[in-house]
Structure 1
Amino acid sequence: MAADPFVVLQPGLGPIRATTYLPATPETVRWGRLPCGSDEAVLEVAPGTEVTIDTVSHEGLLPDQGDPVAFFGSHGVPPEAVLRDAVEIAARVSRGPSDGPHVVTGPVRVTGAQPGDLLAVTVVEALPRVPYGVVSNRHGRGALPGELPRTPGTVSVFTPVRSRPDGAVGCLPLVDGGPRVVEFPLAPFPGIVGVATDGDRRVHSVPPGAHGGNIDVNLLTAGSTVLLPVQVAGALAYVGDPHFAQGNGEVALTALEASLRLTLRFDVVPADVARSRFGDLTGPVVQTPELLVPMGLDPDLGEAMRACVRQSLGLLVARYGMAEHLAYAYLSAATDFEVSQVVDQVVGVHARIRLADFERVPS
Structure 2
Amino acid sequence: MDATTPGPLSTDALPVLQPLAAAPPGELYLPCDPDRALWGRLPTRRTAPVLVVRSGQVVTVDTVSHEGVLPDQGRDPLAYFASHGVPADAVLTDAVGVAARTPHDGPGPHVVTGPVAVEGAEPGDVLRVDVLDLAPRVPYGVVSNRHGRGALPGEYPEGWAADPGHQPWFNPGGNVSVFTRVEARAGGLVGVMPGPVPARFPLRLFLGLMGVARDTDDVVDSVPPTDAGGNLDVRDVGVGASLYLPVRVPGALFFTGDPHLSQGDGEVALTAMEGSLRARLRLTVVRPGDGAPRLTAYQPFAETPEHWIPIGLSDQGGSGAPEERDLDVAMRQAVRHALAFLTQERGMPGPVAYAYLSAATDFAVSQVVDRTTGVHARIRKADFDL
TM-score range, shorter chain: over 0.9
Q: Aligned match of 2:380 in 354, 360, 363?
A: 354
Residues 96-154 of structure 1: per-residue CA shift (max 9 Å, x gap) = 4x610000000011111111111110110000000000000001000001111123411
Amino acid at match of 2:79: A
Q: Which runs of 5+ in 2 are unaligned?
A: 1-10, 162-173, 315-324
What value does the CA root-mean-square deviation take over the aligned residues?
A: 1.8
Q: Distance in 2 between matches of 1:158 and 1:111?
A: 41
Q: Indicate yes or no: 2:82 matched with 1:76.
A: no
Partner of 1:329: 355
Change (3 A) 1:113 1:71: same
Q: How does 1:36-115 map to 2 (within 5 A)?
A: 36-66=44-74, 67-96=76-105, 99-115=107-123
Q: Aligned match of 2:177 in 142, 145, 156?
A: 156
Q: Indicate yes or no: 2:249 matched with 1:249.
A: no
TM-score (normalizing by structure 2) = 0.88
* SS at structure 2 position matched to 1:253: coil
Partner of 1:219: 236
Amino acid at match of 2:305: P
Q: Distance in 2 between matches of 1:112 and 1:143?
A: 41
Change (3 A) 1:79 1:201: same
Equivalent pair of 2:126/2:297 in contact (CA under 8 Å): no
Partner of 1:294: 310
Residues 263-299 of structure 1: per-residue CA shift (max 9 Å, x gap) = 1100111244157x33364321111001000011012
Q: Distance in 2 between matches of 1:278 and 1:349?
A: 20
* SS at structure 1 position matched to 2:220: coil
Residues 7-44 of structure 1: per-residue CA shift (max 9 Å, x gap) = 00001069969810000111111000000011111111
Change (3 A) 1:354 1:7: same
Q: Distance in 1 between matches of 2:368 and 2:38?
A: 24
* SS at structure 2 position matched to 1:7: coil
Q: Percent identity?
A: 55
Paired residues, number: 352
Q: Distance in 2 between matches of 1:163 and 1:155?
A: 26
Equivalent pair of 1:280/1:314 in contact (CA under 8 Å): no
TM-score (normalizing by structure 1) = 0.93
Q: Distance in 2 between matches of 1:134 and 1:18?
A: 35
Q: Distance in 1 between matches of 2:336 and 2:297?
A: 10
Q: Indicate yes or no: 2:299 matched with 1:283.
A: yes
Amino acid at match of 1:91: A
* SS at structure 2 position matched to 1:279: helix
CA deviation after TM superposition for structure 1 residue 218, in Å: 0.3
Equivalent pair of 1:49/1:267 in contact (CA under 8 Å): yes
